[in-house]
Amino acid sequence: LMGSEALLLLRAEKGYIIVGKDTDGLTRPADLGLHGPLKNKKVEFIGRRSLVMDEAQKPSRQHYVGLEVADGGGLLPAGAHGVELVGGKHRSLGYVTSSYMSPTLKRPIALGLIERGMDRHGEIIDIRHFGEIRKARITGPCAFDPEGDRLNA
């Protein structure tokens, strides 16, 4: 398809998700920052049970975030893991789901699912891929025009 790579890049710059690429089978709406639609629903609906299970309430859930290269290097590889050192071993915090070079921003951008990501904006974490360690800053998912000032609807 002509232009499909451009569409993938544009959606990543704005932080729009692709279900199945930027999410997995454990991702719930709140992990994506979507709290409102289901918040006040009092009646039963398909999927409600999954949202109220103990696993869905854990504070260590992975959240959808932006990842900004903090070490001056190139693209963060999709599939690379955010890690922390625990007892001399790397423990996964989550992973890079999408990564692109943004010609608009003139820098690499990435999206990922990172443990407690929404609470960690501004924090620099290690990103590990095949033994190589990189540095990335956790940000909001929207890298381009986060306030929507340029939106012309």
Strand partners, 132: 129
8-55, pLDDT tens digit by residue? Answer: 999 999 999 999 999 998 898 889 988 766 666 677 777 777 777 777
Whether 1 shows a pLDDT value over 60: the answer reads no
Whether 149 shows a pLDDT value over 80: the answer reads yes
Whether 133 shows a pLDDT value over 70: the answer reads yes
Q: Which domains does the chain possess?
A: 4-139 (3.30.1360.120)
57-91, pLDDT tens digit by residue? Answer: 788 999 999 999 999 889 999 999 999 999 999 99
Phi, psi of 32 (to 5 degrees): -95, 0
Looking at per-residue pLDDT, the higher value among 140 and 53 belongs to 140
